[in-house]
Amino acid sequence: MSRREFRVRVDVPRPLGAIVMVGSASGTLAVSGQIAVWALALQGCAIALALAVRNRPQAWQRNPAVLNLGLLAACGAGVLHYGDGEPATIALAHFAMLAQGLQLLDARPRRSEYLLVALALFQVVLASNLTDSIAFPLLLVVFLLATVWTLIVHTLALEALEAGEPLGAERVATPALLRTTLFASAGSIAIALIVFLTLPRMRSSLVHAAASASSVALSGFSDRVELGDIGRIRSDATRALRVETLRGEPPPHDAAYWRGLAFDHFDGRTWSVTQASREPIPAIAQRTIDLAPGRPASNLVQRIVREPMEMGVLFGLGEPRGLRGVRSRIERDANGNLYALGSAAVRVDYTLRSRLVDGVREALAGAAAVAPEPDDADRFVALPPLSPEVRALALRITERASSDAERAAALEGHLRRTGRYSDEPPRLEPGDRRSPVEVFLFGGLAGHCEYFATAMAVLARSIGLPARLVTGFAGGRANPLGGFVELAHADAHAWVEIHFDGAGWVRFDPTPLNLRLRPELAHSVGERLLEIASAIEYWYYDRIVDFDRNDQIRGLTAGWRAWRRLRAGATRAPRATGLQSWRDALGTLWRLDAATLLAGIGGAILVAQLWRRRRPARARAAGPYFEALRLLARRRKRVRPRAQTPRAFARAVRSELSPEAADALAQLTEAYLAERYGGRAQTDASALVRRLREGLRAR
C-alpha cells in the first residue's frame, strides 16, 4: 500500500494560518492597484465568512454542486475581464483570487492543503509581476510564515488521525514547533536574498500591464491644456517625482523648475502642440542618449523617478544634454518635449544630464526676441481673435522699455505686482463671447498659474515677442533622510518661455512669487513619519525593484575591493590598535550595498541554526528509536510495516518481549513521537536502548 493510498481525509476546521495565508496572498494583488473593487470586496467577504463559520461549516460548503457553480462564476469573471481588453495576467489574477476564496470556503474532507497553497502561491507570483509596492515584501514574509505553519498543522492533523489519536496534533503544537517554523522561514528568506543577489537579472514585461489602474493621468501633462486644468490639482498631494542630485549644484528651492511640456498654439481656451509628430532619438551604448550633440557639456546630473504620467512625459531641470536608464524608445516633438514611449502607465527611473546657466536674464541686455527658426516666425506669435484692448494693454505696460528683454521683464513684473492668485478661475457670464484670458486680464487678474502664464504669452505675442506656454513642476520638498526632493501633483506649475537671439528660450514666471510654490507645512510628527516612509520606499525601489546586472557587478566589485583594503590595511599597519581596526572594518561594511549586508546576515543566521541543530545522535530520540527497530528485526525477526503507526507496532510486539524490553520500547516510541511533532524527549533515549538490548537477551 502506498503512502498516498494510506492517507486519510482530514475533516477538521482549516487552521487560522490558512486564513492568514489567503489574506496575505490576496493583499499582494490588492497593493498592485489592478484588481477590481468588487473582486476585492468578494474576497474580503469570503475571508470573513470562512473565519466566522470555521468551527461550524454550513451545508452548502460541503455541496459539490454549489462549489462547482462558484468555480464557473470565477472562470466567467476572468473571461469577462479578458474580453474587456484587460491583459491576460490581470484576468488570471481575478480568477485566482476568486477561486482561492471559494477553496477557502470549501469544508469538505481533504487529504492536503496543497491546492489552497498552490492558488495562494500563484497569486503571489502574479503580484510580483504586477507591483513594485514596498508593501509587497512585507506581505510576502507574512505569506511565507502562514504557509509554512498551515502545512505543518495539516501534516500534524493527518499524522494524528493515522495514529488513531485525533487530538494528538493539538498537544504537539508547542512553542518549540513554532520556533522551528520561524527559524525555517528565516532561513528561506535568507536563501532567497542570496539567490536574488546572485541570479542574473531578468525583467518581465508583465510588470507594467497596459491597463494599470494606478496610471492616473495628471491634468496639464497631456497633449492639450485647457485653462483651469492645473488649478484643479493644486490640492492633490499625490507623489509625481523624486529627484536625487548625483553631481553638480541644483538651483535654490524657489528657482527650481522641472520642465515638462511646451505648447505653441492657443485657440483662446486651450493650448496644444501644432506639430504633433515626433521623431525617435537614437541611443548609443547601454541606452545612453545624446540629446544635444555638439552643445556645451552638462554641469548637473540628476536621477529622477517619475510616477505614472499621461503621455509618458519626461521632466528635467535646465537644458537637457543626455539621458540614461529609460528602457523604452525616446521621442521628441517640434517643441523639444521628451516622451518615453509606452511609459504612461508605469514608474520610470532615469538619469538626466543637463546644463544650468546662471545669469541668463542679466546677460540678455539688448538681445532681440526672435523665432528659433525662420519657419517658426508665425507659429510662436499667432493669436486667436482677441479684443484690441489686449495689445493696447501690452503696449501700455512696455511703453518705457527700450529692448525686447525689458519688454518681457515688464510684462512679467506687471502680472506679478497686480495679479492675485485664486482657487476659483475667472467666471464667464452667460453670453460673454470673450476668451477666458480676456476675462482674466480685465476682470481683476485673479486666477491659477496657467491664467498668469497664458496672459503673459498672449501679451508678449501681441507685441511680436515669440512666446510659448510651458508646464512642469516647481519647488518641491526636500527629504533629508532620503537625500532627494519630492514633488507632488500639487507642485504642478505653468510659466512662459520667450526666445532670444543667442540665448535661446528664456524662462519668465508671471505668477506672484508668494503663491507660486506649495506652502511649507510645519514638520509635525506626522510629516516626519511621511518623510521616513517616502525615504524607505525610495530605498526599496532603488535597491530591490530596480536591482539589475550593473548593481550585481558593482556589489561584487565593492565587496572584493573592501576585502582587499582590509587585507592591505592589516599588512601595512600590523601595529594598529584593535579598536581602530574594528572601526575601519565597520566603516567598510557600512559602505557595502545594504542588500549584500542583509544577505550576509541572513546566511549567518541560517548557518548558526544548522550548526545549533547538529547534536549527537544519542541526545535525540529518532536515532535510538530506529536502532531499537534494527535490534527487533535482527533478534526477533519483527519488522514494523510501513502502514503501521509506531504506537500500534509497540502494542503488537509487547506480548513477544519481556516486561523490561516492552516498557523500554514503549518509552522510546513516546520519546520519538514527541520529538517528531516538535517536542523534546523527557528521558535518556540511549539508556532506553540499553534496557531494550538487555531485555532482549534475557528473554
| pLDDT confidence bin for 616, thresholds 50/70/90 | very low
pLDDT at 6: 44
- Rounded mean pLDDT, 508-524: 68
Q: Which of 540, 390, 375, 392 is nearest to 466 (CA)?
A: 375
Q: Which of 191, 187, 171 is nearest to 179 (CA)?
A: 187
Comparing 216-230, 378-392, 568-582, the range with the smallest average pLDDT is: 568-582
Tell me the pLDDT of the chain averaged across its residues.
78
- Rounded mean pLDDT, 126-137: 79
pLDDT at 467: 93
| pLDDT confidence bin for 554, thresholds 50/70/90 | low
pLDDT at 514: 61
pLDDT at 304: 92
Spatial separation of the C-alpha atoms in residues 437 and 452, rounded to whole Å: 9
Q: Which of 618, 602, 621 is nearest to 673 (CA)?
A: 621
pLDDT at 408: 92
Q: How far apart, in Å, are the Cα atoms of 529 and each of 20, 476, 486, 523, 532?
A: 28, 18, 15, 10, 5
Comparing 26-35, 71-80, 232-241, 661-670, the range with the smallest average pLDDT is: 232-241
- Rounded mean pLDDT, 213-225: 55
Phi, psi of 420 (to 5 degrees): -140, 120
Spatial separation of the C-alpha atoms in residues 368 and 376, rounded to whole Å: 16
For residue 588, is pLDDT > 60?
no
Please give the share of the chain, as a percent, with pLDDT higher than 90: 15
- At 161-198, the pLDDT tens digits run 666 665 555 665 667 777 777 777 777 777 776 766 66
| pLDDT confidence bin for 537, thresholds 50/70/90 | confident
Q: Which of 207, 194, 191 is nearest to 144 (CA)?
A: 191
Q: Which of 192, 249, 239 is nearest to 216 (CA)?
A: 239
pLDDT at 590: 43
DSSP lists the bridge partners of residue 258 as 317, 473
pLDDT at 668: 86
| pLDDT confidence bin for 462, thresholds 50/70/90 | very high
- At 8-19, the pLDDT tens digits run 676 777 888 889
Q: Which of 593, 597, 592, 617 is nearest to 675 (CA)?
A: 617
pLDDT at 455: 93
- Backbone region of residue 270 per phi and psi (left: phi > 0; alpha: psi in -120 to 50; beta: other values): beta
- At 397-432, the pLDDT tens digits run 999 998 999 999 999 999 999 988 877 777 777 777
> Are 605 and 186 spatial neighbours (Cβ–Cβ below 8 Å)?
yes
pLDDT at 170: 60
- Rounded mean pLDDT, 271-280: 83
Beta carbons within 8 Å of 74's beta carbon, 6+ residues apart:
95, 98, 99, 102
| pLDDT confidence bin for 231, thresholds 50/70/90 | low
Comparing 70-74, 668-672, 677-681, the range with the smallest average pLDDT is: 677-681
| pLDDT confidence bin for 519, thresholds 50/70/90 | low
- Rounded mean pLDDT, 602-624: 59
Provide the residue ranges of all domains of the chain, joining segments of one domain with +: 3-173, 224-516, 617-698
**How buried is residue 672: exposed, middle or buried, by Cβ count under 10 Å (0-12/13-18/19+)?**
buried
User: Mean pLDDT: which of 150-159, 458-467, 502-511, 539-548 is highest?
Assistant: 458-467
For residue 584, is pLDDT > 70?
no
Residue that wins the pLDDT comparison between 567 and 19: 19
For residue 485, is pLDDT > 70?
yes
For residue 569, is pLDDT > 80?
no
Length of the chain: 699
pLDDT at 312: 87
- Rounded mean pLDDT, 454-481: 90
Residue that wins the pLDDT comparison between 520 and 439: 439
For residue 68, is pLDDT > 50?
yes
Comparing 30-44, 350-364, 517-531, 679-693, the range with the smallest average pLDDT is: 517-531
DSSP lists the bridge partners of residue 320 as 354
- Rounded mean pLDDT, 304-314: 86
